[in-house]
């Protein structure tokens, strides 16, 4: 009987596992895939999450944060306007292939019992729990589900019975002479594409990552063709990797708990990637879920009480980010006639733009 089983070895799951293990509780971390591997992601790691990340990584891996390209500015290319917003504190651009592997290795080095290529098939009970996997059954007093936005354990919550528009995520690396040190977001009808410099094992490159409606584009060249400035810029690029893709992308209100199981990261809720806060929310919610369980492991409170604490803390500290992000998203899909004057206003009053970005942190 483990104190906790964490499902999913992404940023949320590893943050939870490391936090539990440091408190001396017994923990089993289960991951369906293997690391290192590429994931579709803009790889914008918000500055607000860097201190927590640095505390989670072990000493061998904090170098990743030091070597990361810093992003002190965001540029929004929309309707022929460029809106520049300072990113303060500066964000870091970190390739997920390195990032997820560093967190995984740090979990292993923190004496987390960690198994890759072990897919969780079902969870039974209300505490204790029985977790059935491709590698056998395991029991635990508590379960944290950090299996991402679209796993066999979260798809039903994400889909919610409604036929959704189909959105895709696409990513690839390119070389570009002297890339600008900014996160550049190119918006077009039916999607957007982010471009930012990234350090690829010591070599400079850029990450182009798009979120697009499936009926609008299904490849990165199709995406580049949707925005004149992006098309022009992409003519100077040489591919450095094969593209990777993911689908579907479904936004929903966060749900931090389900049947006594703590949900962390994207499995609790998927925030629109353009705010660049998904990784930060993942590590913060993973750590928070683990912290809320510690008094339960010590026998001071019941599991129900620990889950309630997590739900309340999540609603107070993390849910506001989802609300601010959906307000911003609604603004971007306003009719052009309303959007253009609004953007003009924002370019003239950068403090308002900065305030809006701050609300998504």
Residues forming the site for ligand FAD (CB under 6 A): 7-13, 30-33, 40-44, 119-120, 146-148, 151-153, 169, 209, 211, 246, 249, 265-267, 273, 276-280, 282
H or E segment and range at residue 288: helix 278-297
- How many CB atoms neighbour CB 185 within 10 A? 24
How would you classify the pairing of strands 69-78 and 183-188? parallel
Which is closer to ligand FAD, CB of 298 or CB of 315? 315
> Which is closer to ligand FAD, CB of 89 or CB of 341?
89
Is the CB of 249 or the CB of 306 nearer to ligand FAD?
A: 249
Task: Give me the least distance between CB of 201 and ligand FAD, in Å please.
Answer: 19
Nearest distance, CB of residue 261 and ligand FAD, angstroms: 13
Q: Give the shortest CB-302-to-ligand FAD separation in angstroms.
A: 26
Q: Which is nearer to ligand FAD, 157 or 338 (CB)?
A: 157
6 alpha-carbon distance from chain centroid: 17
What minimum distance in Å lies between the beta carbon of 288 and ligand FAD? 13
Both structure tokens of 298: 């010590």
Q: Which is nearer to ligand FAD, 169 or 256 (CB)?
A: 169
DSSP letter, residue 268: T
Q: Which is nearer to ligand FAD, 145 or 234 (CB)?
A: 145
* Minimum separation from the CB atom of position 246 to ligand FAD (A): 6
Alpha helices in 24-73 (DSSP H): 50-56, 63-67
Encoding tokens for residue 234? 């992409």
Cα 293 to the center of its chain, rounded Å: 23
Cβ count near 81 (within 10 Å):
13
**Least distance to ligand FAD from the beta carbon of 1, Å?**
20
The radius of gyration computed from the CA coordinates of the chain, to the nearest angstrom, equals 20
Least Cβ distance, residue 60 to ligand FAD (angstroms): 21
Of the pair 120, 262, the CB lying nearest ligand FAD is at 120
In the complex, minimum distance from the CB of residue 93 to ligand FAD, in angstroms, rounded to a whole number:
9
Distance of alpha carbon 270 from alpha carbon 223, whole angstroms: 22
CA torsion, ordered 293, 294, 300, 303, to nearest 10 deg:
10
Helix (H) or strand (E) holding 103: helix 96-109
Shorter beta-carbon distance to ligand FAD: residue 8 or 205: 8
Taking the complex as a whole, the smallest distance from the CB of residue 335 to ligand FAD amounts, in Å, to 25
Specify the residue, 55 or 246, whose C-beta has the smaller distance to ligand FAD. 246
Q: Which residues pair with 199 in a beta bridge?
A: 204
Three-class SS state of 311: helix
3-class SS letters over 135-194:
CEEEEEEEEEECCCCCCCCCHHHHHCCCCCCCEEEEEEEEECCCCCCCEEEEEECCEEEE
């Amino acid at each position: 009987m483990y104190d906790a089983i964490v499902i999913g070895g992404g940023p949320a799951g590893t943050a939870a596992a490391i936090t539990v293990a440091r408190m001396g509780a017994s923990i089993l971390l289960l991951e369906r895939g293997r690391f290192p591997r590429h994931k579709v992601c803009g790889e914008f790691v918000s500055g607000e999450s860097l201190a927590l990340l640095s505390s989670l990584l072990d000493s061998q891996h904090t170098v990743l944060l030091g070597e990361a390209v810093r992003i002190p500015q965001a540029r929004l290319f929309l309707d022929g306007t460029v809106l520049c917003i300072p990113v303060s504190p500066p964000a870091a651009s970190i390739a997920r292939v390195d990032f997820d592997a560093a967190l995984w290795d740090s979990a292993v080095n923190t004496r987390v019992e960690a198994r890759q290529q072990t897919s969780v098939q079902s969870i039974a009970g209300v505490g204790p729990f029985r977790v059935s996997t491709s590698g056998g059954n395991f029991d635990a007093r508590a379960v944290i589900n950090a299996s991402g936005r679209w796993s066999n354990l979260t798809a039903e919550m994400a889909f919610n019975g409604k036929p959704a528009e189909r959105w895709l995520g696409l990513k690839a690396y390119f070389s570009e002479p002297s890339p600008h040190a900014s996160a550049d977001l190119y918006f077009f009808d039916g999607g957007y594409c982010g471009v930012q410099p990234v350090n690829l094992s010591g070599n400079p490159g850029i990450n182009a990552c798009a979120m697009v409606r499936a009926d609008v584009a299904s490849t990165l060249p199709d995406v580049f063709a949707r925005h004149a400035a992006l098309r022009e810029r992409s003519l100077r690029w040489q591919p450095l990797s094969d593209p990777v893709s993911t689908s579907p992308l479904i936004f929903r209100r966060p749900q931090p708990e389900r049947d006594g199981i703590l949900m962390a990261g994207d499995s609790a809720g998927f925030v629109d990637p353009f705010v660049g806060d998904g990784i930060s929310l993942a590590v913060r919610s993973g750590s928070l879920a683990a912290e809320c369980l510690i008094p339960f492991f010590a026998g001071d409170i019941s599991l129900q009480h620990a889950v309630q604490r997590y739900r309340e803390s999540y609603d107070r500290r993390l849910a506001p980010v989802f609300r601010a992000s959906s307000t911003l998203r609604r603004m971007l899909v306003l009719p052009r006639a309303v959007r253009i004057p609004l953007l003009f206003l924002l370019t003239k009053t950068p403090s308002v733009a900065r305030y809006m970005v701050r609300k998504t942190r």
